[in-house]
Amino acid sequence: MDSNHSPNTKEQQMTMLGQFLHPLKKQRILIIAPHCDDEVLGCGGLITRALLAKSKVEVYIVTDADKYGIGHLRKKESKAALKVLGLDSSHLHFLNFPDRDRNLTKKNPEGKSLADAIKEAKEKHKPTLIFLPHPKDTHPQHHAVYVQGIEALKGEKILHYLIWYGLFGHPWPHGYKPALRIAPPQKINEGTWSILPLDTEKETIKEQAIRCYTTQLAKRNPILRSQLLSFVRTNELFWGD
């Protein structure tokens, strides 16, 4: 679709999205998240639905979350959040790449590159469905995870979730608006988007999980707080065939 024919409203965009058609029953799902919280913001509802459908879910957090010296707290928050979703901490893995490395080109404490670490996760779990950040996510580390993830996962079935786009571009409108749906940014109108609906119960579970990230929801950082709560919506959104 060219930009001259992009939808004018979020509601028009929603009518053009397909339903999430990938089966979640008895799958082996691998989620690669740049930071503690991205796994729940992008895929929290999917994790709950997949676990209820008897799928195996493995979550890998790429960075050590220690840019501001609170990595140990953020890791605890991810464990607590995923427990709310129904995922045991034995299925949560930390790759510990330095959060201060903007483009994630340095090796982790085990001496592995990011591409090699992701490839190792793939070989260990043999996933049938993989989730990575969207190629147009504008956060530098999110984009780095996409680039190196694609390199490591050639030939695999991959779907993408979007967290950051522009300064205030996604989801829009920002803030805690649980009755609204997430639609893709109007400027990303190529490729295939699909909706994963969340009923009231699953949306509530996702909200409870998001609220585990107390370091990110602190009132001293209202923009980040608003960003996190923007993902409490009636659906999740994925890109890819």
pLDDT tens per residue, range 39-71: 999 999 999 999 999 999 999 999 998 888 899
Q: With respect to CATH, is domain 24-239 assigned 3.90.1640.30?
A: no
Q: Which two tokens stand for residue 117?
A: 């670490």
Statement: residue 86 has pLDDT above 60: yes
* Cβ contact 194:237 at 8 Å: yes
Statement: residue 112 has pLDDT above 50: yes
Note the pTM of the prediction, 2 decimals.
0.92
In 53-112, alpha helices (H): 71-85
Helix axes 200-210, 38-52, angle to 10 degrees: 140
Q: Of the ranges 12-26, 180-194, 197-211, 225-239, which one carries the lowest mean pLDDT score? A: 12-26
Q: Of the ranges 11-15, 35-39, 40-44, 163-167, which one carries the lowest mean pLDDT score? A: 11-15
Supply the mean pLDDT for the chain. 92
Map out the domains of the chain as residue ranges. 24-239
Statement: residue 122 has pLDDT above 90: yes
Statement: residue 15 has pLDDT above 70: no
Contacts of 134 (CB under 8 A, 6+ apart): 142, 146, 160, 161, 162, 163, 165, 188, 239
